[in-house]
Amino acid sequence: MLNIKMLKPYYVKEDKRFIRVVLAYQYFSLLIDEELYQFIPMESREIIIDRKSKRVHNVLDIFVFQRGKRIVYVSVADLLNLPEFLTHLHSITSPYEAEKVEWIVEKTNIEVEEVVTELEKENLLRLIDKAIDRNDKKAFTKLAGILKEDFL
């Protein structure tokens, strides 16, 4: 039976494409058949998560765990089958994903405001053209004032 005893990152490194959870000795341990095994950074030492797909990129990597002289090799794919591993991993990476989402939402809101403003201006110009076509001086004066006040 395989259980997560502790999973804390040594540090988290992020770039444009990946979130890398770097692990170190005494920060990651497993209970294997009720015996505690400590992570040792012999083969792989990080979990790489693709920001876009939200999937673990290095599923074929092997982590090494030691208890005394006994060594156990566990693949990232095997760890991903443990719900508690996924829970720990999500809690570690969620702050880094949230920053990206907030930035995207903020950028999208600004872009939407710019488009709405441009559409309002174009609509006002069309209304001014209609007022000119109808020879409606009152509507033209009112609309020209709004254009000057809000957009120029």
Domain spans in the chain, listed from the N-terminal domain onward: 2-94, 106-151
Between residues 127 and 96, the one the model is more confident about: 127
C-alpha pair distances (Å), 134 with each of 131, 137, 150:
5, 9, 24
- b/e string for 141-150 if b means 16 or more Cβ within 10 A? eebeeeeeee
| pLDDT exceeds 60 at position 99 | no
Quick one: how far is CA 27 from the chain centroid? Answer: 24
pLDDT of residue 51: 82
pLDDT in tens, 22-71: 998 888 999 988 999 999 988 889 999 988 888 888 989 999 999 999 99
